[in-house]
Amino acid sequence: MSSQDLILEARDLTRYYTVSQGPFKPAATVKALDGVSFEVEAGKTLAVVGESGCGKSTLARQLTMIERPTSGELKFDGFDLVNDSDYQLKLARQRVQMIFQNPYGSLNPRKKIGTIIGEPLVINRHLAKMEVEERVRSIMTKVGLRPEHYDRYPHMFSGGQRQRIAIARALMLEPKLVVADEPVSALDVSVQAQVLNLLKDLQQEMTLAFVFIAHDLSVVRYIADKIMVMYLGQIAEYGQSEQIFSRPRHPYTQALLASTPHLKVQNRKQRVILSGELPSPLSPPSGCVFHTRCPFATSQCAEQVPEIVEFDGRLTSCLRAAEIAAEQD
Amino acid sequence: MALLQIKNLTVEFGSEKKPFRAVDQVCLEIEKGEVLGIVGESGSGKSVTAKALMGLIDWPGRVVAEKLEFDGQDLQEMSDKQRRKITGRDIAMIFQEPMTSLNPCFTTGFQIAEALKIHEGGSRSERRMRSLELLEQVGIPDPSARLKAFPHQLSGGMSQRIMIAMAIACNPRLLIADEPTTALDVTIQAQIIDLLLNLQKQRQMALILITHDLALVAEAAHRIVVMYAGQVVETGPVPEIFETPRHPYTAALLEALPERSIGATRLKTIPGVVPGQFDRPTGCLLNPRCEFATERCRRDIPLLQTDADGRQVRCHTPLDREGKPQP
């Protein structure tokens, strides 16, 4: 694989937030992203999976340049998102677009959808009005909306159609990377399937790369080429989608897979129910951050911080990955 | 005899002349200790059915039923006062969004004790003891501290556990859970569902699980009711419905799941959306979206028919074992 194919490359990416804990107390640091490395190839999909609070959305904020990372490297399509000037980031920003979770909240109810979809063009390109309208109508056809609906308002559309509007808006500037933050979790199964098909078609047609943030693992399995499982701002497991789904090696990935309900009895795994919730990122556990909820944890896990290493064709950050694998196979 | 019997429940909104039927002649029965799953897309009338059952439909909504009996008592005949004694104690409900269904102005302890005060009485300290016990039952660590917490201090999973504690406070015989896990992470979802099923087994409680997640129902429920546009389109025991769906809508819903198309390049979809107030088709309500629709489907309204195995299907041409429509 040549490095030309890579559209996005992150090395040891970190993002810390300082939070005030009240007067007379020192400010604390939340490590929302703590040394994350990954890459996305052009036209491929990376899915980011994890519970709420694991840093998925922080990652999205770095990729869309809403914030600058604290340290590390983040290279996107020839731009350096950590060190480049604000002017250059403005140029880079046109090539990254985002689709949000809730199509009911992400569209301005006072604007016609033609205006909503055309807005990126009005801001970033200097085009004649007619040209903008023409392009809007053509993209509306592309995402399966009727061009006659140009003058309608968002409330006149169903959830699935609104998500199509949001997708049309994201594609208006012909981006190279689309960050989709739970794009189908607010939709019904039937509509979810329509939107997922649309995303896949558009990806092929326009060689889009997706960073797909989701918690529904069956959706992830369908759409992703690579998967990154995150836990408390760190990578738990990272590798090719099929490998991770067929043989999850990190106990956290195993627990996530086992928690997902399945239709077929033979697909249901022995439930590894995680007790408790995600620990507070203000005071993360010592050693392996997952050891407080891990069914395989030993005293060593509480002390030694695991490094992310290659194992069985993917990267995993479990000290006992080999032992657990030997036990399970 | 069934614990809850509903016959021809209809809920209408809007003007008298041109009403919109959100729930259309729904018949349901649930036995003691049974887990019944109600599934369907949004807009299919699942939540309205549950609300009508709890007596939570306000004017201008109208609830009409031929029969609405809980444990032999007619819920429509009794006075509002009597009915309030049953709802909250014998029939309890868990709502969809835990973060918004708790009152932000009161502590969780106050809100749990409120249900106890109204239905069970007892002294303040007794109620506190009982609240503590309930929080322990739903698996909340450090219950005495949590009693003093306000809803904004709790996570989604924790709030949902508080909601469950409130619902089971008076040992209900029927618990209605309306999308209890949609807003939660998968790991927390698994914890909550296990908790509900454990409670259901321990107390021989009947549980109505309303959800649009078919896989969840497949794992948890005994019997299933599929609703579409306010009507029941198919009912039956869980393994049969999932193996051999007889209604084209059930079959299409199952086909649309990504789990069914692993390795496939495209997912199967159901074109269109659930009809609303102004775009109701004639004949079978599914006909514009059904791949097997015929002239007859566009003309005649199908009836809910019970077949030899006790499964009910509302279709002119129900599917056979191979998924082909039979005339």
Question: What local confidence, expressed as pLDDT, does residue B126 receive?
Answer: 92
Question: What local confidence, expressed as pLDDT, does residue A63 receive?
Answer: 93
For residue A96, being part of any structural domain is answered with: yes
Query: Which residues fall within 8 angstroms of residue B128, CB to CB, at 6 or more apart?
Result: B109, B113, B147
Q: Domain range for residue A25?
A: 6-327
For residue A124, being part of any structural domain is answered with: yes
Q: How far is A260 from chain B (nearest CA, A)?
A: 6
Query: Of B155, B219, B269, which has the smallest distance from its Cβ to A190's Cβ?
Result: B269
Per-residue pLDDT reduced to its tens digit, B298-327: 999 999 988 878 899 999 988 988 878 887
Looking at chain B, the whole-number percentage of residues with pLDDT higher than 90 is 37
Instruction: Report chain B residues whose CB lies below 8 A from the CB of A188.
Output: 41-42, 212
Q: How far is A115 from chain B (nearest CA, A)?
A: 25
Closest CA to A299 of A283, A317, A284, A286: A286
CB contact under 8 A, A215 and B265: no
For residue A175, being part of any structural domain is answered with: yes
Residue at B291: amino acid letter? E
Please tell me which residue of chain B has the smallest CA distance to A293: B187
Please tell me which residue of chain A has the smallest CA distance to B253: A190
Question: What local confidence, expressed as pLDDT, does residue A2 receive?
Answer: 47
Please tell me which residue of chain B has the smallest CA distance to A225: B263
Q: Chains A and B: how many Cβ contacts under 8 Å?
A: 108
Most confidently predicted of A2-11, B49-58, B273-282? B49-58
Q: How many CB atoms lie under 10 A from the CB of residue A293?
A: 20
What 3-state class would DSSP assign to A296? coil
**Cβ distance B147 to B131 under 8 Å?**
yes
As a whole number of angstroms, the distance between CA B34 and CA B27 comes to 16
What 3-state class would DSSP assign to B23? strand
Average pLDDT score over residue span B207-227: 91
CATH code assigned at A303:
3.40.50.300
The pLDDT confidence band at residue B26, using thresholds 50, 70 and 90, is very high
**Cβ distance B211 to B37 under 8 Å?**
yes
Question: What local confidence, expressed as pLDDT, does residue A272 receive?
Answer: 67
Question: What local confidence, expressed as pLDDT, does residue B173 receive?
Answer: 93
What are the C-alpha distances in Å from A105 to residues A64, A196, B89, B274? 19, 20, 37, 21
Evaluate if residue B147 carries a pLDDT over 60.
yes
Question: What local confidence, expressed as pLDDT, does residue B160 receive?
Answer: 87
Q: String of b and e for B164-182 (b: at least 16 CB within 10 Å)?
A: bbbbbbbebbbbbbbbbbe
Write out the DSSP string of A43-77: T-EEEEE--TTSSHHHHHHHHTTSS--SEEEEEET
For residue A62, being part of any structural domain is answered with: yes
Question: What local confidence, expressed as pLDDT, does residue A284 receive?
Answer: 86
For residue A1, being part of any structural domain is answered with: no
For residue A152, being part of any structural domain is answered with: yes
CB contact under 8 A, A190 and B262: no
For residue A167, being part of any structural domain is answered with: yes
* Radius of gyration over every alpha carbon of chain A, rounded to an integer in angstroms: 21
Q: How far is A130 from chain B (nearest CA, A)?
A: 31
Least confident range from A319-328, B54-63, B179-188: namely B179-188
Show the domains of chain B with their CATH numbers. Answer: 4-90+170-314 (3.40.50.300)
What are the C-alpha distances in Å from B213 to residues A88, B1, B83? 44, 30, 31
Average pLDDT score over residue span B76-92: 88
Q: Which chain A residues have any C-beta within 8 angstroms of a chain B C-beta?
A: 51-52, 158-160, 188-194, 196-197, 200, 215-219, 221-222, 255-256, 258-264, 267-268, 271, 273-277
CB contact under 8 A, B41 and A277: no
Residue at B137: amino acid letter? Q
List the beta strands (DSSP E) in chain B: 4-13, 20-30, 35-39, 62-64, 67-70, 73-74, 91-94, 174-178, 206-211, 223-228, 231-237, 304-306, 312-314
Question: What local confidence, expressed as pLDDT, does residue A1 receive?
Answer: 45
Average pLDDT score over residue span B229-253: 91
Average pLDDT score over residue span B124-133: 92
Number of domains in chain A: 1
Please tell me which residue of chain A has the smallest CA distance to B268: A193
Q: How far is B179 from chain A (nearest CA, A)?
A: 13
As a whole number of angstroms, the distance between CA A165 and CA B104 comes to 35
CB contact under 8 A, A191 and B155: no
As a whole number of angstroms, the distance between CA A289 and CA A231 comes to 8
What 3-state class would DSSP assign to B105? coil
User: What are A177's strand-pairing partners?
Assistant: A96, A209
- Walk along chain A (329 residues) and give the pLDDT tens digit of each residue: 444 588 999 999 999 999 888 888 888 888 899 999 999 999 999 999 988 888 888 899 999 999 999 999 999 988 999 999 999 999 999 999 999 888 888 999 999 999 999 999 999 988 999 999 999 999 999 998 989 999 999 998 888 899 999 999 999 999 999 999 988 887 888 888 889 999 999 999 999 999 999 888 888 988 999 999 999 999 999 999 999 998 999 999 998 888 888 877 766 666 667 777 778 888 888 889 999 988 888 899 999 999 999 988 899 999 988 888 888 87
Q: How far is A187 from chain B (nearest CA, A)?
A: 9
ipTM summary value:
0.80
Closest CA to A250 of A284, A227, A221, A266: A227
What 3-state class would DSSP assign to B208? strand
